[in-house]
Amino acid sequence: MTPRTALFLQKPDVLDRQRTHLEELFARYLPGTICHFAGSPGDVPAGEAFDLVITPQLDWLPDVLERIPGPQRIHLTSAGRDVLDAMGLDLDGITVTTSAGVNATAISEYVLGGILMHAKQLHRYRDLQHRREWQRNWLTELTGARLGIVGLGNIGTRVLERARPFGFAIRGCDIRQDAPEGVEHVYGVPEISDLAAWCDILVLCVPLTPQTRGLIGADVLGGMRPGSLLINVSRGPVVDEPALIDALKSGIPAGAVLDVFEEEPLPATHPFWSMPQVVITPHVAGTTQRYMDNMFATIVREPVQGSPGTHQEPVAISRAQD
């Protein structure tokens, strides 16, 4: 059912850039819906009822919900809902849906880009270019390399699909231990250290839950192979950052591609900035020109009926998020 009224929340600077495009998307995907845009709680008309609230996991979302009657549905622009859950909101009677899967293609492309950058040392050569230094050395061929994917949900599966043509040997880790096509073995979560010890490239595609917080700690990192690479496109707290810093200083893993961090923006004093073996991006792996279009397509799909205040699908280690 198309909502009659909708409230779209976003940081004011982002909203200013997106508003024209958002109006086009409402007209295309939710025709006839009256939408109110707000960049702060004060922009929300007090007491006005909305069928649908579309929002990132904003720290001022609780203030907004105090100003309006409970909507029928809250749709999160992110794939995960960890911040929302931490707010302790009373969501009784409200269906909460997320944008899980809308960024799977973009993030899988990012992962393959990170793998290629590390194997072909493109970041190192870029640094040499800036210094006008000519240095040749052996690069890494990916055929036969061992790829481990932690979380075989939307994003992990898309990474798998894109990795197959490179000739990787692929194993996974997931609460569901059925091996998808192209995966030779799936480890249970308690066996994640075994996966880390086996692979040359370890890719993290899990949501942040009590079970995944600190999942990649000193024990897992210490067992990785010489020359190995860690890629994190899940959530920063999935990795124990001090343990990762110590591990990188020891040379195992040899490098890391990190799009997410314990604290964002990453503080200017953080050790990652000065570590040449670390590639840092500011939580952009899932952001492309198609993100909002993909998100609106998920909104118009009728959500599966579930208990109030919960997502239409159970949160599990395999559910990747952004």
The partner residues of 76 in beta bridges, in order of sequence, read 55
Tell me what the mean pLDDT of segment 171-192 comes to: 95
Same domain, residue pair 148 and 109: yes
Confidence of residue 303 (pLDDT cuts 50, 70, 90): low
Say whether pLDDT at 321 is over 50.
no
Token readout for 148 is 């481990």
Query: Which residue is catalytic, options 235, 241, 311, 319?
Result: 235
Is 23 an annotated catalytic residue?
A: no
Nearest of 114, 317, 145 to residue 235 by alpha carbon? 317
The stretches of 223-300 forming alpha helices (DSSP H) are: 241-250, 291-300
Establish how many alpha carbons lie within 13 A of residue 37's alpha carbon, considering only the half-sphere containing its beta carbon.
15
Is 67 noted as a catalytic residue in this protein?
no
Residue 307 lies in a domain: no
Residue 315 pLDDT: 33
- More confident call, 312 vs 201: 201
pLDDT for position 87: 95
Sign of CA dihedral 55, 237, 283, 314: negative
Cis peptide before 56 (omega within 30 of 0): no
Please tell me the chain's helix, strand, coil percentages from 3-state DSSP, rounded to the nearest 5.
35, 15, 50
Sorting pLDDT into bands at 50, 70 and 90, what band is 177? confident
| Cβ atoms < 10 Å from Cβ of 322 | 27
Give the per-residue pLDDT at 319. Answer: 36
Is there a domain that residue 247 lies in?
yes
Identify the CATH number of the domain in which residue 121 sits.
3.40.50.720
pLDDT confidence of 53, banded at 50, 70, 90? very high
Mean pLDDT of all residues in the chain? Answer: 92
pLDDT of residue 80: 85
Of the pLDDT bands very low, low, confident and very high (cuts 50, 70, 90), residue 310 is very low
My answer on whether 92 and 137 are in the same domain is no
Q: What is the pLDDT of residue 302?
A: 56
What tokens were used for 139? 């690069």
Q: Does residue 85 sit in the same domain as residue 224?
A: no
Give per-residue pLDDT as tens, 11-31.
999 999 999 999 999 999 999
Q: How far apart are CA 118 and CA 114, in angstroms?
A: 6
Determine, yes or no, domain membership for 310: no
pLDDT tens digit string along 147-165? 999 999 999 999 999 999 9
Residues 74-98 have a mean pLDDT of: 93
Degrees to nearest 5, angle at CA 261 with 251 and 199: 40
pLDDT band at 272 (very low <50, low <70, confident <90, very high): very high
Q: For residues 178 and 58, which has the higher predicted lDDT (pLDDT)?
A: 58
Cα–Cα dist 117/151, whole Å: 22
State the catalytic residue, choosing from 24, 141, 184, 264.
264
List the one residue out of 225, 251, 253, 227 whose CA is nearest residue 239. 253
Q: How many domains does the chain have?
A: 2
Do 160 and 292 fall within a single domain?
no
Q: Which amino acid is at 185?
A: H
Residue 221 lies in a domain: yes
Give residue 66's pLDDT.
96
Angstrom CA distances, 289 to 153, 205, 284, 299, stand at: 23, 22, 12, 18
In whole angstroms, what is the distance from residue 222 CA to residue 246 CA?
10
Q: Is residue 174 scored above 90 in pLDDT? A: yes
Same domain for 98 and 110 = no
Query: Averaged over 267-276, what is the pLDDT?
Result: 98
The H or E element that residue 187 is part of is strand 185-187
In the residue annotation, 184 being an active-site residue is answered as no
Residues 62 and 209 in one domain: no
Q: Catalytic: which of 109, 123, 283, 313?
A: 283
Please give the pLDDT value at position 79: 86
Q: Quick: pLDDT tens for 227-259.
A: 999 999 999 999 999 999 999 999 999 999 999
Question: Residue 32 CB: number of other CB atoms within 10 A?
Answer: 9
